[in-house]
Amino acid sequence: MKRVAIFLLPLLFLAIVYTIAKISAFAITATPISSLEASELRQKALDAGFRPIPTDPKKLLHLINTPNNPLNAAKVQLGKELYFDPTLSKDGTISCASCHNLDAGGDDGLPTAIGYKHHRNPHHLNSPTVLNAALQKFQFWDGRAKSVEEQAAGPIQAPFEMASTPDEVVRKVAASSHYTKLFKKAFGDNAITFDRITKAIGAYERTLLTPARFDKFLEGNLTALNEKERRGLELFINVGCKACHFGRSIGGLLIQKFPMNPYNFSIYPKFGIHGSKYYFKEIAIDPNVTANPYPFKDLGHYYGKNDAQRFKVPILRNITKTAPYFHNGSVKDLKEAIRIMAKYQRNIDLDKDQIEAIEAFLGSLEGEIVDFNLSEFS
């Protein structure tokens, strides 16, 4: 009898804990959710670390300018021409715009980049957006570059992208009398170097900012977001997405582990969120759990910085235009990406309405590229 009692005690304890958790969940979910007023939500968003892309031209210029690459009108124009010029690639067929289409969210819409002689990225890496990339602290999926100027040098030389060399690029650019004139205007003399080429491209990329309706909301236009979008924003904050996706870029400022919660066991607890409160849902039993490092196909076998499954947090601006998602482009649907992030990063199972609300909020991050007057850089 003693042995039976000893065996039953842990089960009894678990049953009591389970019952208490379910009672608590019932009490939480039975409480009506009272949404914040728009003004309160705006303040909550600012307190969470969101910042608007300014509309004032002087503030915009101050935001994107850098002492390491001072902007001027000629440099931005030069960078724009270089950005769209396929002659920078080895075979003259691929430009920066080939993988970063400004009319399609700033990426190529493909699961993985296709470069020189139709080579695919060996790690099946998805092309990140170039839009608002200048606002990031880190570039590339592993965050190895710290500026758009540094990043611009990478794809030009990658054998599976543009497959060129600094010397080849300089030789081609220097052969153009048009470019020679532009370099003199941009830099003060005729010297053409690979460093100046990447600085010019970086200067142009710094102007590729896309203010959105969310920025108007942050600046005080309380009607810029509709009710569903505001509900999605509040959920985005309450779930904890803002812990990594914050700032003006709403991403790109951290290197983060993914997934945080890999769910490697067949039995695990499921949690939900109601308003701002977390609650226990149920015990899930999933016999199909595997040791796969990601909650999607491990295409390319890429594991981020130091092979530790640490990645640059992606920018969420224009996310509705940049499918497929994640580092290897394995997920086509934004709703599924939201579900995965909530479950595997925040340990929360969102319901259909919650996912759709967050998706609606993310739609408010769509914006058009700022139409800079180049005279502003003079």
Tens of pLDDT, residue by residue over 88-102, are 999 999 999 999 999
Predicted local confidence at residue 5, as pLDDT: 57
Q: Tell me: the pLDDT tens digits for 246-278? A: 999 999 999 999 999 988 888 889 999 998 888
Percent of the chain with pLDDT over 70: 90
146 or 7: whose pLDDT is higher? 146
- Identify residue 287 by its one-letter amino acid code: P
Task: Look at residue 22 and tell me whether its pLDDT is greater than 70.
Answer: no
CATH fold match for the domains 32-53+211-363 and 57-209: yes
Mean pLDDT of the chain: 92
**pLDDT for res 15:** 62
Contacts 24+ apart (CB under 8 A), 35-41: 35/227, 35/230, 35/231, 35/234, 36/230, 36/234, 38/217, 38/222, 38/223, 38/225, 38/230, 39/222, 41/230, 41/233, 41/234
Instruction: Return the pLDDT at 9.
Output: 62
Query: Taking the CA of residue 305 as centre, how many other CA atoms within 13 Å lie in the half-sphere pointing to its CB?
Result: 17
Q: What is the model's pLDDT at position 3?
A: 61
Confidence of residue 281 (pLDDT cuts 50, 70, 90): confident
State the catalytic residues: 161
Residue 198 pLDDT more than 90?
Answer: yes
Domain segments of the chain as ranges: 32-53+211-363, 57-209
Using CA atoms, how far apart are residues 367 and 344, in angstroms rounded to an integer?
29
Q: Does domain 57-209 bear CATH number 3.50.50.60?
A: no
Confirm whether pTM is higher than 0.95: no
pLDDT, residue 80, reads 98
Is pLDDT at 138 greater than 60 in this prediction? yes
> What is the token pair recorded at 281?
């849902």
CATH class for the domain made up of 32-53+211-363: mainly alpha
